[in-house]
Amino acid sequence: MAKTSYAIALGSNRRSRHGSPTETLRYAAAALGVDRLSTIRSTPALGPRRAQLAPNAAAILSSDLAPTDLLHQLKELERQFGRRAPAGAGGLASSIWI
């Protein structure tokens, strides 16, 4: 498959072994090898932690992977960062937009 550019949404609302939620987000972006990372913006978290601010960013990533394969790679990265629950439950969250 030819290289495709993907827009990836990243967010975190808990500390990880990589540091604060913002440091965790930056580390994840570096681990993915993103081409560009937006300004990181802190917004109120959803769910039971809504009083807490959570850093969020968008990234552009070029990849040879098909969309479903890239999504599997992102979900594996989430697990490596300690994500144990469905979207909205804390940890590192990622989404893929084509």
Tens digits of per-residue pLDDT, 35-92? 999 999 998 877 676 668 889 999 999 999 998 899 888 888 888 877 665 555 444 5
Which structural domain range is residue 13 located in? 4-97
Write out the two tokens for 50: 């809504």
Domain count for the chain: 1
pLDDT, tens digit, for every residue of 7-49? Answer: 988 888 778 888 998 998 999 999 999 999 999 999 887 767 6
CATH number at residue 74: 3.30.70.560
* Count of other CB atoms within 10 angstroms of residue 75: 13
Look at phi and psi of residue 77 and say left if phi exceeds 0, alpha if psi is from -120 to 50, else beta: alpha
CA angle in degrees (0–180, nearest 5) for 87-89-91 = 90
